[in-house]
């Protein structure tokens, strides 16, 4: 069976944040969860993505962490993919669009997030399975 994003994404409790949250709240949430991105959700709907890169832009603009809001620095309407999508196409989108996270949506429901790190481990697992087959199954 073909491998899909479902096999490599982080699922379950995806970090979400509201657009009205402050930059400081976002930074603390990313730090606490030790992740690089939060999906921005309003009224149950995904409206954006906010990553450490956005935090960097806010700092470069001298925005105060207790005043600046996520909605001013998030990317609205992020690229999302369904869980049955192929990991290699996800990697291609990340490379072309120059971002490292893709929320995984099953219809309107947020079911996971895939990062470039998840896709690297997917590549390593596939690569080592191929190497294994090469030596053990001539």
37-42 vs 16-17, strand pairing mode: parallel
Nearer to ligand AMP, 56 or 124 (CB): 56
> Shortest gap between Cβ of 49 and ligand AMP (angstroms)?
5
CB atoms within 10 A of CB 83: 16
Q: Where are the beta strands (DSSP E) in the chain?
A: 10-11, 16-17, 37-42, 45-51, 75-76, 101-106, 109-115
Structure tokens at 27: 């930074």
The residue within the footprint of ligand AMP, chosen from 29, 47, 79, 111 (CB under 6 A), is: 79
Does residue 123 belong to the site contacting ligand AMP (CB under 6 A)?
no
The residue within the footprint of ligand AMP, chosen from 54, 91, 104, 105 (CB under 6 A), is: 54
The residue within the footprint of ligand AMP, chosen from 55, 87, 101, 105 (CB under 6 A), is: 101
Size of the site for ligand AMP (CB under 6 A): 14
What is the three-class DSSP state of 34? coil
The residue within the footprint of ligand AMP, chosen from 8, 70, 85, 100 (CB under 6 A), is: 100
Place of tokens 């832009």: 57
Applying CB under 6 A, the residues found at the interface with ligand AMP are: 36-37, 49, 51-54, 75, 78-79, 99-102
């Amino acid at each position: 069976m073909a491998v899909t994003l479902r096999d490599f994404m982080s699922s379950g409790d995806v970090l979400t944040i509201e657009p009205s949250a402050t930059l400081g709240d976002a930074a603390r949430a990313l730090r606490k969860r030790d992740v690089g991105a939060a999906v921005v959700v309003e009224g149950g709907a995904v409206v954006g993505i906010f990553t450490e890169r956005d935090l960097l832009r806010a700092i470069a603009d001298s925005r105060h962490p207790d005043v600046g809001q996520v909605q001013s620095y998030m990317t609205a309407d992020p690229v999302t993919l369904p869980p049955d999508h192929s990991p290699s196409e996800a990697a291609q989108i990340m490379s072309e669009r120059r971002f490292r996270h893709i929320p995984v949506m099953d219809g309107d429901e947020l079911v996971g997030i895939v990062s470039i790190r998840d896709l690297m481990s997917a590549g390593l697992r596939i690569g080592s399975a191929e190497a294994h087959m090469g030596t053990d199954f001539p």
